[in-house]
Amino acid sequence: MTVHMPCLWRKAPEDEFLAERRGGNMTSDYDYVIVGGGLAGASAVEGIRERDATGRILIVAEEIHLPYDRPPLSKKLWFGKMQLEGIFLHERSFYETHGVTLALGAAASQLDPAVKTVTVAGGATYGYGKLLLATGCKPRKLDIPGGDLDGICYFRGLDDYLHIKGKAAEGKSAVVIGGGFIGSELAAALNINKLDVTMIFPGELLCDRVLPDYLARAVQQRYREKGVRILATDQPVSFGKSGGRFVTRTAKGVTVESNIVIVGVGVVPELALAQSGGLETGNGIVVNEYLQTSSPDIYAAGDNAFFPYRVLGQSMRIEHWDHALTQGKWVGRNMAGAHEPYTHQPYFFSDLFEFGYEATGEVDSRLETYADWQKENDTGVVYYLRDGKVRGVMMCNVWNKVEAARELIRKGVTMTPGQLRGLIRSYR
């Protein structure tokens, strides 16, 4: 696919949205309005077009970029495995061909389900037949002195990647706040790019919400061996600047100077628009099995949706690529009349130096775990169990086995370690 880069991350040319915005409080009606320009929103277009070839579609997105994939921002782009143009889900011509109007750089501010309208900053109002809220999440901010200091990066999107990449020269230094997915991936990426990296996080171990204790210790030791300085069981209490460098001070009295500060301490779902319309919210926008909100013509999908996970028998919110991709397409079909209950079992993945994994189900370190290693703490499968039943599976440097793991979870039968041993294997 040939991609012309300037069309992708510079501000979009004038479109119907810009013309309307200049016109003031004009109203246009669409069969489908999608608020959110991420993976779920773009995938919904594909789902809609599977069932409705002609309905008018509008995407309203706060970012100025065409919809793109987020995982490469902390993975492949740093390792030369992908070029920047490769992250964009489609060229602009895709949206033109599929009859999609793009309202980029537009923050939706008000929802009125009674008259079925969405209003964006600047006053333009859009009527909808069906509405999708795919507004995703926003980074959690640190409420400490200097937490809003110019240049501190709360890493989430493409602009954040471009900002850090422009500063991440060999020999520079970086402080990474947070020991979860984003913090761990970015610390590894910066270290591989020959920066001096310090990690600060309040827990004892990296990725301790998903990795069992024994595996988290092995991964953390790998980071130290690579030269990453780890300040565990600590947290920043202030940020400042001195001589053009950031100064991070921690609760334990440690002071670290660096060229870069990245904060990755989790995200919170974007709920303001849903709440402005009186929709039911909690840990996300509450939806039923068809991905409808408490207002039946409004749907939610992706990182912000609190949905019934059928196989696990509980409602939850998931912030992973495969979930946004599949649920986005699924919700698009339902908006166009499919009325199909969402049954997908999403998986997620991460790369931490040479240690990579794919996982599916309830991957929670608080559960009982059984590890079936081919190479201890490196290659093998970790099973997460409740009452002897497999609830989640993490395949460590074991690839192309996600469907086998899904099937095991679906069966929901009691398993002993002896029965699990050798059940999923790497045959590399």
Predicted local confidence at residue 27, as pLDDT: 64
Q: How far apart are CA 351 and CA 361, in angstroms?
A: 18
Predicted local confidence at residue 26, as pLDDT: 53
Predicted local confidence at residue 338, as pLDDT: 98
Predicted local confidence at residue 425, as pLDDT: 85
Predicted local confidence at residue 17, as pLDDT: 45
Q: How far apart are CA 336 and CA 50, in angstroms?
A: 9
| Partners of 393 in beta bridges | 360, 383
Q: How far apart are CA 372 and CA 120, in angstroms?
A: 52
Q: How many other CB atoms are there within 10 angstroms of residue 128's CB atom? A: 23
| Partners of 340 in beta bridges | none
Query: Strands, E, within 179-259: which ranges?
Result: 196-200, 229-231, 236-242, 245-250, 255-258
Q: How far apart are CA 147 and CA 66, in angstroms?
A: 29
Q: How far apart are CA 248 and CA 238, in angstroms?
A: 6
What single-letter amino acid sits at 19? Answer: A
**Residue 168: enclosing H or E segment and its boundaries?**
none
**Intervals of the chain under pLDDT 50:** 1-24
Predicted local confidence at residue 28, as pLDDT: 86
Residue 62 structure tokens: 């706060």
Q: How many other CB atoms are there within 10 angstroms of residue 24's CB atom? A: 9
Predicted local confidence at residue 122, as pLDDT: 86
Mind listing the pLDDT tens digit for each residue in 327-338?
Answer: 999 999 999 999
What string of DSSP letters covers 95-156? HHHTTEEEEET--EEEEETTTTEEEETTS-EEEEEEEEE---EEEPPP-STTTT-TT-EE--
DSSP class of residue 67? Answer: P
Predicted local confidence at residue 368, as pLDDT: 97
Question: Could you give the domains of the chain?
Answer: 6-138+268-335 (3.50.50.60), 153-265 (3.50.50.60), 354-420 (3.30.390.30)
Query: Strands, E, within 217-333: which ranges?
Result: 229-231, 236-242, 245-250, 255-258, 260-263, 267-269, 281-282, 284-286, 298-300, 305-309, 314-316
Mind listing the pLDDT tens digit for each residue in 184-210?
Answer: 999 999 999 999 999 999 999 999 999
Rg of the chain over all Cα atoms, to the nearest angstrom: 22
- What letters, b where the CB count within 10 A reaches 16 and e where it falls short, cover 308-347? bbebbeebebbbbbbbbbbbbbbbbbbbbeeeeebebbbb
